[in-house]
Amino acid sequence: MENHILNEKQKKAVEFNGKHLLVLAGAGTGKTRCIVGRAAYLIDNGVPPEKIQILTFTKRSANEIVERVKSSLSDNQAQSLNGSTFHSWCNQLIVRYPNLFGASNYTVIDPDDQLSVMKMVCGDQIIEYKGIRIKPQQLIEIYSYGRNTRQNLSNSIREKVFKGKIDEDTNDEIDIIRPKVEVLLRAYQSKKADGRYLDYDDLLLIVANRLRNDEEARTILSHQVKHLLIDEFQDTNPLQWYLLEPFLQIANFYCVGDDAQSIYSFRGADYKNVHLFKQRVPDSEVLILDDNYRSTQEILDLSNWLLDESSLDYKKKLIATRGEGIKPKLINVASQWEEANFIAENILENFTENNKNFIDHLILSKSTYYTKPLQAVFIQKKIPYVTYGGRKFMEAAHIKDVISALRVVNNVYDEIGWMRFLTFWDGIGEIRAGKYISKILEFKDPLECAQNLEDVIGGTDGEKIGEIYNTIFINTGNVKKAIHETYSKMEMPLAFKYRKDWEEKRKSDFPVLEMLGDNYSTIGQLISEGILENAKQLNGEPVLEGSQLNDSEIKDHVIISTVHSAKGLESDVCYVLNVSPKVYPSAWNLQSEESIEEDRRVLYVALTRAKNELYITRDTNSINTVNNSENSSDASSKYFLEKLPGKLIDQIVNPFSIIKPRDILTPNKIDLSTGMDFS
């Protein structure tokens, strides 16, 4: 490890020789450098790389850290180093020790499949009381929230149905609703067991429960894991802590995080895991990094001010090692189209006159929905771009159609997979498919299914479906070939089903799917890992999140991202969209101080992505609306930029504003003269 690139505090963190450490690293202070340095330091000092487990929240981050460690060492020292997401890691453990964890030939199901299972369970049953109607999707949310936050069913219902309300009427309503919800959730659990389905939360719970209750499990894993390196520790939720806690006895913790970047409370993340670290973790220390290497001081002054305005004490004051630069700009716009044109023209000016590339520009928004006008203008002005935060590769319908065939070979009890695979074929509806499935579920394994499937279905349908099943069954150990053969047999009906955009969008995804399959040794691994990671990255490049110009060869592009998908990103020029009243904080968060603070942290993450230039746009109409509203006091007083000191920012009106000329009041008759002199 080249320690000369580390500052004094980073070096102290990397070479820590105690039991457990939390590195509180502010934005741009080198937290990734620390976690990379720590892994390299351990390997350099004799720790076998296979005994180090790096845990992150995205596959992209895990791959980046592992590759950086490998490049910092010589002689393939880090070849066996493993970096994973929490869910992938637990899945790997279950696959490696099927007897220990009691799970084999299971199917990992995504949120869409979860909903399908819940709908099967609910049938015609609807939970209704005093105008409250709980649908299957909400039942899933209650179930998942309770597990991830480790809260009881009553509190989960309160949070997901009643938005945290605490009063006598709400308590009474919960008491009446809860038994009905419990019946359906228990039935859902049972249905999952019948189908050998594991949802994302199950993976963590299976490992956590076994470790907490089984000394043999802890002994086995103590030989495998000696050091846990955990990135983005502020984003861990109570379920993840429940999983990690048993490892305190058998491994050393090295956690890196920033409480000011905790922005995932909607999935149960609890920044108190950072604040309570020393209380929860015996023999632990905390180190703070505050030297920022990313941004200019002007950008950090604005970011520091935002945190200073909070009622919470973040104990953070970032200092720019790069010194001073350009003051951030606040652009007041009258519409989304005005905003889009300003950004487009600014980027084109930078590209043509200021020697900047498109990739030097990052655009951040609270939601992808808000970027639609921007994307339209970029297409019009031929600005290449990619989007982060949209639907992922394995969630696409045409991909799920092919994967369904692989799923039923991996797990013959996969009722959802069977329903999708069978109804894919023209002429087989849900009723007919249901009759086939009832017979198929009587088979004890894929071999028996392969031998009898054609007869169960019969006719030409039986021939083609049986042929596909047998082809996959024969190639379970050659995943790439299994995908290739399956796709070749399904290509024509796929092309017909998705004919509107087949050639333009969908067809080109199947070579990608084959390449993805080449990374896995079994179909089961592809299904579980592929679904978990959603194939968002392939060899470091975004998959199915490409430029709307539809040119995969374009490498120079603007990045448009949600703030939540931008963690870890940075850019020379950064645009933060719609920092307006009722957005920062959101109107629906105004009554909750915790939610307001979460929105503050979202904005903080956005601001701290910028290296040199920061543009913030604001809708002037929303300001006027708030100021003129009877209920404006809350929205205006809690608006984050309400008390923004003028010295921190240059405020300008959009120079590229679209001014519509005013028409005359009364219409003229249309003049149909030719303009030609016929005399």
pLDDT digits over 631-658, tens only?
555 667 789 999 999 999 999 887 665 5
| pLDDT attached to residue 627 | 57
Strand partners, 538: 541
- Find the mean pLDDT for residues 513-517: 82
Residues 466, 450: Cα–Cα separation, whole Å:
7
| pLDDT attached to residue 677 | 58
pLDDT surpassing 60 at residue 417: yes
pLDDT surpassing 90 at residue 13: yes
| pLDDT attached to residue 328 | 98
Q: Give percent of the chain with pLDDT exceeding 90.
A: 64
Residues 574, 328: Cα–Cα separation, whole Å:
10
pLDDT surpassing 80 at residue 241: yes
| pLDDT attached to residue 604 | 96
pLDDT grade, residue 49 (50/70/90)? very high
| pLDDT attached to residue 169 | 87
DSSP 245: G
Nearest alpha-carbon partner for 205 in 110, 68, 292, 102: 102
Kind of pairing between the strands at 537-538 and 541-542: antiparallel
Question: What are the phi and psi torsion angles at 645 (to 5°)?
Answer: -65, 135
| pLDDT attached to residue 377 | 86
pLDDT surpassing 70 at residue 674: no
* Chain centre to alpha carbon of residue 233: 16
- 4 token code pair: 């000369």
| Number of other residues whose CB lies within 10 A of the CB of residue 317 | 12
* pTM of the shown model: 0.78
Q: What digits encode the pLDDT tens for the residues 102-157?
A: 988 899 988 888 999 999 999 878 787 787 889 999 999 999 999 999 999 999 99
Residue with tokens 């399908």: 116
Cβ atoms of 81 and 51 within 8 Å: the answer is no
pLDDT surpassing 70 at residue 535: no
Strand partners, 328: none
pLDDT surpassing 90 at residue 555: no
* Chain centre to alpha carbon of residue 339: 26
| pLDDT attached to residue 5 | 82
- Find the mean pLDDT for residues 213-229: 95
Query: Left if phi > 0, otherwise alpha if psi is -120 to 50, otherwise beta: which for 658?
Result: beta
| pLDDT attached to residue 657 | 58
| pLDDT attached to residue 418 | 96
Q: What is the mean pLDDT of the chain?
A: 87
Lowest mean pLDDT among 4-13, 160-169, 247-256, 617-626: 617-626
| pLDDT attached to residue 550 | 33
Q: Give percent of the chain with pLDDT exceeding 70.
A: 90
- Find the mean pLDDT for residues 295-311: 96
Lowest mean pLDDT among 45-49, 527-531, 597-601: 527-531
| pLDDT attached to residue 128 | 79
- 161 token code pair: 């149905």
pLDDT surpassing 90 at residue 530: no
What are the counts of helices (DSSP H) followed by strands (DSSP E) for the chain?
Answer: 28, 21
In the sheet with 227-230, reading across from the earlier edge strand, the strands are 82-85, 52-56, 227-230, 252-257, 20-25, 284-289
Residues 208, 640: Cα–Cα separation, whole Å:
40
- Find the mean pLDDT for residues 258-267: 84
| pLDDT attached to residue 508 | 81
**What's the alpha-carbon Rg for the chain, to the nearest Å?**
28
Nearest alpha-carbon partner for 42 in 7, 67, 73: 73
Peptide bond into 246 cis (omega under 30): no
- Find the mean pLDDT for residues 186-208: 94
pLDDT surpassing 60 at residue 545: no
The residue with greater pLDDT, 138 or 516, is: 138
- Find the mean pLDDT for residues 432-459: 94
Nearest alpha-carbon partner for 54 in 225, 198, 171: 225
| pLDDT attached to residue 264 | 82
Residue 430 carries which side chain, given as an amino acid letter?
A: E
Q: Which residues contact 70 (CB under 8 A, 6 or more apart)?
A: 76, 78, 79, 81
pLDDT grade, residue 101 (50/70/90)? very high
Lowest mean pLDDT among 161-165, 230-234, 345-349, 488-492: 161-165
pLDDT surpassing 50 at residue 494: yes
pLDDT grade, residue 520 (50/70/90)? confident
Residue with tokens 């592929």: 530
| pLDDT attached to residue 133 | 86
Q: 3-class SS at 132? A: strand
| Number of other residues whose CB lies within 10 A of the CB of residue 485 | 18
pLDDT grade, residue 268 (50/70/90)? confident
Residues 647, 109: Cα–Cα separation, whole Å:
52
pLDDT grade, residue 421 (50/70/90)? very high
pLDDT surpassing 80 at residue 672: no
| pLDDT attached to residue 549 | 30
| pLDDT attached to residue 547 | 27
Q: Which residues contact 673 (CB under 8 A, 6 or more apart)?
A: none
pLDDT grade, residue 666 (50/70/90)? confident
DSSP 583: B
Q: What digits encode the pLDDT tens for the residues 356-372?
A: 999 999 999 998 778 87
pLDDT grade, residue 544 (50/70/90)? very low
| pLDDT attached to residue 616 | 97
| pLDDT attached to residue 678 | 53
Q: 3-class SS at 231? A: coil
